[in-house]
Structure formats: C-alpha cells, structure tokens
Amino acid sequence: MTASGPSPDLGGELLSDKVKRLVLDRIIHGHYKPGERVVEFQLAKELGFSQSPVRDALRELAAIGVITMHPRRGARVRMPSAKELADVSQVRAEIDALAARLAADRLSAATVATLEELVDRMLDRLADGDFPAVTEADVRFHQLIVQASGNRALEQTFEQLAPFARTFLTLTLPDVDVHEILLEHREILTALTAPDPDGAADAARRHQLHVRSLMLSRAATEDGDQLAAARTS
C-alpha cells in the first residue's frame, strides 16, 4: 500500500516527516555514509510509500544541507563542514538563550524530571561509547526547553537546525573529549529550576558558544589538512 499524505496510523504525522527522520537516523548511525547515494525508489519500496513523500523528505534535507540533489546522480549524503556547524552553533546560541529565558518560569515538574534523566543519559551513554544515543539525548534536552518556551516560531527555527546538532555530535564525539560540554547541561538545568531566566539564558548561550569554539578548532584542522594535501598533490 502506498500513501503520500498524513496517515492516521502515524498520529497525523506527514509521511515526508517520517522519511526525513528515518534518513537522518540512518546518517547519524552510519547506515548512510557521506557521499553515499540515497535511492528514492528503493527507499519508497522499502517503506511501502509512494515516491512522493520520499522525494519531499529528500528535498527538505537538501534545503538544510544534509543531502545534495543532482538531476542525474540523485540524492547523496552530505556531511556539513566544521565551519558550517560552527555557524549553526553561533545562531543556536541566541535561539537556545531565548528559549531558556522564556522557559524558566514555565517548566513543569515532569519536564524537569525528564531533563534530569536526559543529562544522566548523555553522560552514561558517553561512557559506553554509544554516540548516537548521546546525540538523541542532547537534541531532546534542548528540544524540550524550546517547546516549554511556548514560542512556536522559536520551535520551528530550532527544528530546522536540530539535524546539525546531531551531525555535530556524530562528527565530534569519536575524536574529542566532550565530557565538560555535556556537563554544561546541568548548569542550564540548575538555572532553569531556580528559576533564573537570565542565568538560564547565559548558561545556554555559553554552552552553544563552547560548541562553536570546538567546531572552529576543527575547521582550522580541516583547512590545514586540505592545505597539506594540496601541497603534496
């Protein structure tokens, strides 16, 4: 059976959103490698969908730079550069700061408990070397704060950039000690639960700027590697 619109079985979720989430999960978990082709027809057949929602999902991923679309070569996975990820973190610094400021007086006890669990999960999964699980907990932590802000425009902007957050961790975790960065989530949570809107905003901003600094360092390394390669070619 094929479909191309919202399905009651998915709780009203657009099929293209389901496909987009699946492709992102596969990129994060290494099922789709950078440069590898994502075949529209094969994916549609696998999922039992028409090609329309698959095509829409790939176009949306191309719009945020995770996929490239070529008329003859189809869709291929694209790994954003460290500089691109640093730029996203700079924008996220302000988005997350505003979200934390707005959410500080709005968090329910249940949301606070979930945020605490997510911080513990990040640290536990990092110790286990389960990097995809760290990315899931990290994105969910920030997503909950944005959702608690009550600002729909802020939430929509966050969702556009969330794939880059997952890419950052996937790109960085195997090579860099990010334990201190993960601990910064506790600083954000402490300020949120005080509640201290200004302190929460400052902590959220510092966290993302720390991420940006890390990615700029990685970008410098990438540039050095490219320069070295050019000199030896």
E strand or H helix that includes residue 67? strand 67-70
pLDDT one-digit tens code per residue, 146-169: 999 999 999 988 987 877 766 656
**For residues 54 and 179, what is the distance between their CA atoms, to the nearest angstrom?**
37
For residue 104, the 8-state DSSP code is T
pTM of the predicted model, to two decimals? Answer: 0.75
Question: Which pLDDT does position 185 carry in this prediction?
Answer: 97
pLDDT one-digit tens code per residue, 50-81: 888 898 988 888 887 788 888 877 888 887 77
Q: Could you tell me whether strands 74-77 and 37-38 are parallel, antiparallel, or unpaired per DSSP bridges?
A: antiparallel
Residue written as token pair 């907990």? 137
AA letter at 83? K
Q: 152-172 vs 197-232: helix axis angle to the nearest 10?
A: 40
Q: Report yes or no: 1 and 49 within 8 Å, Cβ to Cβ.
A: no
Question: Which pLDDT does position 175 carry in this prediction?
Answer: 66
Q: Which domains does the chain have, with CATH numbers?
A: 8-77 (1.10.10.10), 82-225 (1.20.120.530)
Question: Which pLDDT does position 170 carry in this prediction?
Answer: 62
Question: Which pLDDT does position 144 carry in this prediction?
Answer: 96
Identify which of 184, 166, 203, 181 has the alpha carbon closest to the alpha carbon of residue 85: 166
**For residues 226 and 85, what is the distance between their CA atoms, to the nearest angstrom?**
18
131, two tokens: 């990097």
pLDDT in single tens digits along all 233 residues of the chain: 333 333 334 444 678 888 888 888 787 767 787 788 888 888 888 988 888 889 898 888 888 778 888 887 788 888 777 788 888 889 999 999 999 999 999 999 999 999 999 999 999 999 988 887 888 899 899 999 999 999 999 998 898 787 776 665 665 555 677 889 999 999 999 999 999 999 999 999 999 999 898 888 877 665 554 544 445 55
Largest CA distance in the chain: 59
Question: Which pLDDT does position 73 carry in this prediction?
Answer: 78
**For residues 33 and 77, what is the distance between their CA atoms, to the nearest angstrom?**
7
203, two tokens: 């902590």
Question: Which pLDDT does position 112 carry in this prediction?
Answer: 96
Cα–Cα distances (Å) from 48 to 71, 79, 184, in that order, read 24, 28, 42
Backbone angles phi, psi at 48, to 5 degrees: 80, 25
